[in-house]
Amino acid sequence: MPTVKNDCTKIGWIGTGVMGLSMCRHIMEKGFAVTVYNRSRSKVEPLIEKGAVWASSPDKVAELSDVVFTMLGFPEDVREVYMGGKGIFSGVKKDSILVDMTTTSPSLAIEIYSFAAEKGVYAVDAPVSGGDVGARSGTLSIMVGGDPEVVEKIKPLMEAMGKKIVHQGPAGSGQHAKMCNQIVVAGTMIGVCESLLYGYKAGLDMKTMLSSISGGAAACWALDNMAPRILNRDFNPGFFVEHFIKDMGIALDEAKRMKLVLPGLALANQLYMSVLAHGGGKSGTQALILALERMSNISH
Among 134, 149, 170, the domain boundary falls at 170
Do 70 and 184 have their domain in common? Answer: no
Do 183 and 267 have their domain in common? Answer: yes
Q: What integer pLDDT is reported at residue 3 of this predicted model? A: 72
- Percentage of residues in the chain having pLDDT higher than 70: 99
How far does CA 41 lie from the centroid of its chain? 21
Q: What is the mean pLDDT of residues 114-140?
A: 96
Q: Catalytic residue positions? A: 178
231, 236, 241, 244 alpha-carbon torsion, rounded to 10°: -90
- pLDDT of residue 1 exceeding 70, the answer is no
CATH code of 66's domain: 3.40.50.720
Q: What integer pLDDT is reported at residue 139 of this predicted model? A: 97
Whole-structure pTM value: 0.94
- pLDDT of residue 2 exceeding 70, the answer is no
Do 161 and 210 have their domain in common? Answer: no
CATH code of 258's domain: 1.10.1040.10
Do 18 and 162 have their domain in common? Answer: yes
Among 103, 135, 170, the domain boundary falls at 170
Q: Is residue 246 part of a domain?
A: yes
pLDDT for 28-82, tens place per residue? 999 999 999 999 999 999 999 999 999 999 999 999 999 999 999 999 999 999 9
Total domains in the fold of the chain: 2
β-strand pairing of 162-169 with 140-145: parallel
> Under the phi-then-psi rule, with left for phi > 0, alpha for psi from -120 to 50, and beta for the rest, what region is 95?
left
What is the domain range of residue 136?
10-170
pLDDT for 160-172, tens place per residue? 999 999 999 999 9
CA distances (Å), origin 75, targets 119, 198, 246, 247, 273: 21, 37, 9, 10, 19
Among 124, 153, 170, the domain boundary falls at 170
Q: What integer pLDDT is reported at residue 5 of this predicted model? A: 76
pLDDT for 176-190, tens place per residue? 999 999 999 999 999
Q: Out of 4-13, 156-165, 279-288, which region has the weakest mean confidence (pLDDT)?
A: 4-13
Do 46 and 98 have their domain in common? Answer: yes
Q: What integer pLDDT is reported at residue 6 of this predicted model? A: 79
Do 212 and 184 have their domain in common? Answer: yes
